[in-house]
Amino acid sequence: SSAVSDPVGHPSSEETLHRHFDAIPAATSAPDPITGFLSRNAGLQAAVALMADAGVRNARLCAIWLDIDRFRRVNESFGHVAGDSVIARIAERIRSIVGLPCALVRMGGDEFVVLAPVRDRVAATQLARQLLVEIRLPLTVDELLIRPSASIGIALEQVGEEPAAWLERADRAMLEAKRRGGNRLALSGDELLTGRLGVQLAREELAIESTLHAALENGGLRLHFQPIVGRDGRVEAVEALMRCYAGGHQIAPARFIPVAEKTGLIIRLGEWSLLEGARCAARLRARGTPTTMAINVSRAQLLSPRFMHALHAALVCADVPARLIELELTESLFLDLSPTVQANLRSAREVGVGLAIDDFGTGYSCLANLKDLSASKLKLDRSFIAALPEDRRSFAVVKSMTRLGQELGMAVVAEGVENHSQLAALTEAGVDASQGFHHARPMPEHGLLKWMARRAEK
């Protein structure tokens, strides 16, 4: 094959050189004398501090990694003094675009990183585009007009991510922008979504993301409620399930919850559902039918230091006793050893809310490992129930999971009960309660009230 063409797009020699340049040892913590920006080490410390701080704000952090295109040529043609003055002037432009509370870092040579809190990916991209436009303004060096440009990589901080890993994603996105010819932006995460299908998926996700934002602001969110029925036929609890409406139609949780989790929006959505669920519980109590409200909580919420704050706020605002609230968490969360999750689970227990292990059986945890857990309820995933009553193996599994769960002090609930013969098998297996279309579909609050009234008559 030819040595000249490089169809797979390996880094050009300029890029290779550029990486060498970057490998110059990092400066100490003193600010960079040419730009006044933080040095690389101080920048990493700032990233850690901002990450700790952003958890309590309503924002995500984005890292914008900028690399001046063809900067080596400036240095070669004009010398290092002129090169430094170009760097200083570009730094000034960056400073003029981003306000506080941001961190501005010079990573070395012609590379800069901006760390800034933003609302979402759209806002991060807008900020990066503004930077690109500003940097492109013509500049005079030794009476010659040059037109600088930059390659920019953007990475939004992911929940639980190490600062170094986060910055590295921004760096990789920048290299991707450079590989595509420079003078452009690249967003980390999008490189996985290439090709026609990928573009379509990315577009759909962006559309869902902006719908969720709009729904949060304009009241497009609703809770539906599905009863959980005890062996004796009493309503043991009600599960709150989120609904999102856009332009007259509903988006399924299976579509919007993953997007919300990926973008961090789940934190705000989750706070909303905690508050609305608690309010409904308070209304049920005021009507003389106190009922436990089960509310779904995602991992990202429990990883946030402000989780307990949101839980307290919901209990206080709704004026509902903690024992009427139960949090549904997937089983893997109970095995999560991260200190924030552990502390949040413990505090939630101490406040007096119940904890339920949701979708049990879909993860890989063994019930025995869950023994010192603080959960009071075990919800068997509906995949086990779907095979009932014919499949004797499923029946045996359900029966033994039920016995073990009960021996560990938990009430056992079967999910997704769709017909009478499944219910009969579950009663035989000894479950304490069941939930599913057989009893009722999730419904709006007024529907739930009617359903409860009809049952009370019987």
- Select 171 or 328, whichever has its Cβ closest to ligand C2E: 328
- Select 186 or 235, whichever has its Cβ closest to ligand C2E: 235
Distance in angstroms (rounded) separating the CA atoms of residues 383 and 389: 12
What is the token pair recorded at 310? 């949101």
Min. distance of Cβ 436 from ligand C2E in angstroms? 3
Q: Which of 298, 304, 344, 434 binds ligand C2E (CB under 6 A)?
A: 298
Which letter does DSSP use for residue 25 in this model?
P
Distance in angstroms (rounded) separating the CA atoms of residues 282 and 447: 17
Give the Å distances, CA to CA, from 217 to 178, 221, 272, 450: 37, 9, 11, 30
CB-based closest residue to ligand C2E: 436
Distance in angstroms (rounded) separating the CA atoms of residues 363 and 224: 26
Q: Which of 418, 430, 447, 449 binds ligand C2E (CB under 6 A)?
A: 418
- Select 135 or 212, whichever has its Cβ closest to ligand C2E: 212
Q: Which of 237, 242, 333, 345 binds ligand C2E (CB under 6 A)?
A: 242
What is the token pair recorded at 156? 């939004």
Distance in angstroms (rounded) separating the CA atoms of residues 425 and 253: 29
**Which window, 7-15, 165-173, 203-211, 407-415, contacts Ca ion (CB under 5 A)?**
407-415
Query: In the stretch 266-295, what mask flags binding to ligand C2E with x, by CB under 6 A?
Result: x---x--x----------------------
Alpha helices in 299-444 (DSSP H): 299-302, 307-318, 331-334, 339-351, 382-386, 392-407, 420-429
> Which of 227, 228, 281 is CA-nearest to residue 413?
228
Q: Which of 171, 358, 432, 445 binds Ca ion (CB under 5 A)?
A: 358
Alpha helices in 323-381 (DSSP H): 331-334, 339-351
Which residues are paired to 240 by β-bridges? 225, 295
- Select 105 or 380, whichever has its Cβ closest to ligand C2E: 380
Burial of residue 268 (number of CB atoms within 10 Å: 0-12, 13-18, 19+): middle
Distance in angstroms (rounded) separating the CA atoms of residues 9 and 213: 38
Give the Å distances, CA to CA, from 303 to 101, 115, 266, 333: 23, 21, 12, 10
Residues numbered 323-352 forming contacts with Ca ion, rule: CB under 5 A: 328
Give the total of residues touching Ca ion (CB under 5 A).
5
Identify what 298 binds: Ca ion, ligand C2E, none; CB under 5 to 8 Å per kind.
ligand C2E
Min. distance of Cβ 291 from ligand C2E in angstroms? 17
Q: Check residue 444 for interaction with ligand C2E (CB under 6 A).
A: no
Min. distance of Cβ 300 from Ca ion in angstroms? 16
Identify what 102 binds: ligand C2E, Ca ion, none; CB under 5 to 8 Å per kind.
none
Residues numbered 324-363 forming contacts with ligand C2E, rule: CB under 6 A: 328, 358-359
Q: Is 355 in contact with 345 (CB distance < 8 Å)?
A: yes
Min. distance of Cβ 298 from Ca ion in angstroms? 11
Q: Check residue 442 for interaction with ligand C2E (CB under 6 A).
A: yes
What is the token pair recorded at 344? 């949040």
Q: Check residue 416 for interaction with ligand C2E (CB under 6 A).
A: yes
Q: Check residue 264 for interaction with ligand C2E (CB under 6 A).
A: no
Q: Check residue 249 for interaction with ligand C2E (CB under 6 A).
A: no
Task: State the helix-helix crossing angle for 163-179 and 40-54, rounded to 10 degrees.
Answer: 110
What is the token pair recorded at 362? 């879909």
Q: Check residue 226 for interaction with ligand C2E (CB under 6 A).
A: yes
Report the interface residues with ligand C2E, using CB under 6 A.
Answer: 226, 241-242, 252-254, 257, 266, 270, 273, 296-298, 328, 358-359, 382, 416-418, 436-437, 442
Report the interface residues with Ca ion, using CB under 5 A.
Answer: 296, 328, 358-359, 415
